């Protein structure tokens, strides 16, 4: 289990350190875990004038899985676009051919009050959004600016999906549903877009291979509405890059704090890059105030998806659940009047829970 660790910037090193301590516990129990760290993002720029230094990319390519903290910071905003931290992120996703982005939105009952939605709507929420990451209107050609026939300036992009691209992501959807509640909802805009008609036909054609999974289809505008009306109706949602970008951000708000949500980006062989969905939080960096749980839960996803060790994933998730049940809260989770603990103390609590269970 070779894991490349890329702490990144801002709170990245602090939160990744707590995940590293979880790995230490597991290694101590005999799991064959090897880790190596490298700079990326602003730290990559500082070290090698490159947000994804060649040595970092090599390490990521040679590893079985990558754990990333977060990248970015105001001091790098003045750099030319190709040197900005976020470019490192886009480049590593492309270099590793990570086409499937998995984002669970899970609300622990203990945190239901932290959501902006009513407790009964979100308590116990557990859904997974699978977003295609390398196609669609974000990459379709042609795109650009031109003069219209009337002499007006106009911008244009091309929405595009091939059958093979849809099949590849749809299979991730079916397989994931199979490991969860066996319900897959494919989201598109097939009432308007040709790309979506092809998407829907292609997903439907695969359904016969997964008779144990109940497939449904939903238009994206309705899906956006249903996510806030009754999000617990969903098990797994699979959708394209553009719709997934928007719906996954919407779903993340259902779960209360951004500090709780992990993500995985996978290639065709289940190699993955695992990271919390939040950014580098420069406003609280270096103050021992960041919530490390999204990063620790990203590690759980790594064991589930790349290493095929659902038992280890369950244990890590169980440890997180226990520390929340015990009442431990970082500042982002604490309700008025509740005592908040720091990043390291939260790491201590998870390590203790893991050792105890
Ligand atoms: P952000 O997610 O970093 O922060 C938004 C708010 O949430 C802040 O108030 C922050 O303090 C809080 N927050 C975030 N993570 C937290 C945690 N673990 N615990 C407690 N509070 C947390 O988003 P932003 O402020 O828009 O962006 C800051 C920087 O991060 C920018 O440079 C941006 O480009 C970058 N960014 C990186 C990624 C990534 O690495 N994947 C994603 C988003 C933003």
If DSSP states are collapsed to H, E and C, what string results for 167-194? HHHHHHHHHHHHHCCCEEEEEECCCCCH
Mean pLDDT of all residues in 122-139: 92
Percent of the chain with pLDDT over 90: 86
Query: So what's the pLDDT on residue 98?
Result: 96
Domain end position, chosen among 201, 230, 257: 257
Q: Is 147 an annotated catalytic residue? A: no
Q: Which domain does 42 fall in, by range?
A: 1-99+267-357
Give me the catalytic one of 189, 210, 271, 274. 189
Judgement on whether residues 121 and 225 belong to the same structural domain of the protein: yes
Q: What lines the ligand 1 site, CB under 6 Å?
A: 11, 15, 70-73, 86, 89, 258-259, 275, 278-284, 290-291, 294, 332
Domain end position, chosen among 233, 257, 281: 257
Say how far apart CA 96 and CA 206 lie, in whole Å: 26
Look at 13-17, 218-222, 255-259, 308-312 and tell me which has the smallest mean pLDDT.
Answer: 255-259
In which element (H, E) is residue 310 found?
Answer: helix 310-325
Q: Is 348 an annotated catalytic residue? A: no
pLDDT higher at 123 or 238: 238
Domain end position, chosen among 232, 257, 282: 257
Does residue 134 lie within any of the structural domains? yes
Judgement on whether residues 117 and 223 belong to the same structural domain of the protein: yes
Taking the CB of residue 235, how many other CB atoms lie within 10 A of it? 18
Does residue 78 lie within any of the structural domains? yes
| Cα dist from 125 to 73, 223, 232, 307, whole Å | 32, 16, 6, 26
Which residues are paired to 264 by β-bridges?
Answer: 102, 274
Does residue 150 lie within any of the structural domains? yes
Judgement on whether residues 75 and 135 belong to the same structural domain of the protein: no
Residue whose Cα lies nearest atom 1 of ligand 1: it is: 279
Does residue 18 lie within any of the structural domains? yes
Q: Is 76 an annotated catalytic residue? A: no
Does residue 262 lie within any of the structural domains? no
Give the tens place of pLDDT for each residue, 242-293: 999 999 889 888 887 789 999 999 999 999 999 999 999 999 999 999 999 9
CATH of the domain at 249: 3.40.718.10
Give the tens place of pLDDT for each residue, 330-350: 999 888 888 999 999 999 999
User: Which residue among 280, 297, 331, 332 has the greatest number of ligand 1 atoms within 8 angstroms of its CB, and so is best to mutate?
Assistant: 280
Q: Is 118 an annotated catalytic residue? A: no
Strongest mean pLDDT among 2-6, 107-111, 115-119, 245-249: 2-6
Percent of the chain with pLDDT over 70: 100
pLDDT band for 108, please (50, 70, 90 cuts): confident
Contact 56, 39 (CB under 8 A): yes
Query: So what's the pLDDT on residue 116?
Result: 83
Give the tens place of pLDDT for each residue, 202-215: 999 999 999 999 99
Query: So what's the pLDDT on residue 169?
Result: 98
Say how far apart CA 129 and CA 74 lie, in whole Å: 30
Taking the CB of residue 95, how many other CB atoms lie within 10 A of it? 12
What integer best gives the mean pLDDT of the chain? 95
Residue whose Cα lies nearest atom 25 of ligand 1: it is: 281
Task: Tell me how many domains the chain contains.
Answer: 2
Judgement on whether residues 14 and 111 belong to the same structural domain of the protein: no
Which atom, in ligand 1's list, is nearest to the CA of 15? 18
Judgement on whether residues 30 and 162 belong to the same structural domain of the protein: no
Judgement on whether residues 165 and 241 belong to the same structural domain of the protein: yes
pLDDT band for 356, please (50, 70, 90 cuts): confident
Tokens at 320, concatenated: 């997180």
Residue whose Cα lies nearest atom 16 of ligand 1: it is: 259
Judgement on whether residues 84 and 121 belong to the same structural domain of the protein: no
Query: So what's the pLDDT on residue 357?
Result: 62
Residue whose Cα lies nearest atom 44 of ligand 1: it is: 279
Judgement on whether residues 214 and 144 belong to the same structural domain of the protein: yes
Residue whose Cα lies nearest atom 26 of ligand 1: it is: 279
Judgement on whether residues 91 and 184 belong to the same structural domain of the protein: no
Does residue 189 lie within any of the structural domains? yes
Which pTM was predicted? 0.92
Does residue 149 lie within any of the structural domains? yes
Q: Which of 94, 93, 77, 103 is nearest to 6 (CA)?
A: 93
Judgement on whether residues 16 and 118 belong to the same structural domain of the protein: no
Tokens at 78, concatenated: 């003045």
**How far does residue 293's CA lie from ligand 1's centre (Å)?**
14
**How far does residue 282's CA lie from ligand 1's centre (Å)?**
7
Query: So what's the pLDDT on residue 214?
Result: 98
Judgement on whether residues 93 and 109 belong to the same structural domain of the protein: no
Judgement on whether residues 58 and 152 belong to the same structural domain of the protein: no
């Amino acid at each position: 289990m070779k894991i490349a660790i890329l702490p990144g910037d801002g709170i990245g090193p602090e939160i990744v350190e707590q995940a590293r301590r979880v790995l230490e516990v597991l290694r101590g129990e005999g799991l064959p875990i090897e880790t190596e760290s490298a700079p990326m993002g602003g730290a990559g720029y500082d070290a090698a004038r490159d947000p994804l230094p060649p040595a970092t990319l090599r390490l990521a390519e040679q590893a079985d899985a990558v754990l990333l903290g977060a990248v970015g910071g105001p001091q790098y905003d003045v750099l030319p676009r190709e040197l900005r931290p976020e470019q490192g992120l886009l480049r590593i996703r492309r270099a590793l051919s990570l086409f499937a982005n998995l984002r669970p939105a899970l609300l622990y009952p203990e945190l239901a009050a932290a959501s902006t939605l009513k407790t009964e709507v979100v308590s116990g929420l557990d859904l997974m959004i699978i977003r295609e990451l390398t196609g669609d209107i974000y990459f379709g050609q042609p795109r650009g600016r031109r003069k219209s026939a009337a002499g007006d300036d106009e911008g244009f992009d091309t929405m595009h999906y091939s059958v093979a691209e849809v099949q590849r992501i749809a299979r991730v959807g079916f397989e994931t549903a199979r490991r969860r509640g066996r319900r897959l909802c494919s989201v598109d805009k097939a009432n308007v877009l040709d790309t979506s008609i092809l998407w829907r036909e292609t997903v439907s054609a695969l359904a016969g291979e997964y008779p144990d999974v109940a497939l449904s289809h939903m238009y994206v505008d309705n899906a956006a509405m249903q996510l806030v009306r009754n999000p617990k109706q969903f098990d797994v949602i699979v959708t394209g890059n553009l719709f997934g970008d928007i719906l996954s951000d919407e779903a993340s708000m259902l779960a209360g704090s951004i500090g709780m949500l992990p993500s995985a980006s996978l290639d065709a062989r289940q190699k993955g890059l695992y990271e919390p969905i939040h950014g580098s939080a420069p406003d609280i960096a270096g103050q021992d105030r960041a919530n490390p749980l999204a990063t620790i839960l990203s590690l759980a996803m790594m064991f589930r998806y790349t290493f095929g060790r659902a038992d280890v994933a369950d244990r890590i998730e169980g440890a997180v659940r226990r520390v929340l049940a015990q009442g431990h809260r970082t500042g982002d989770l604490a309700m008025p009047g509740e005592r908040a603990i720091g990043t390291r103390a939260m790491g201590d609590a998870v390590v203790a829970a893991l050792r105890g269970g």
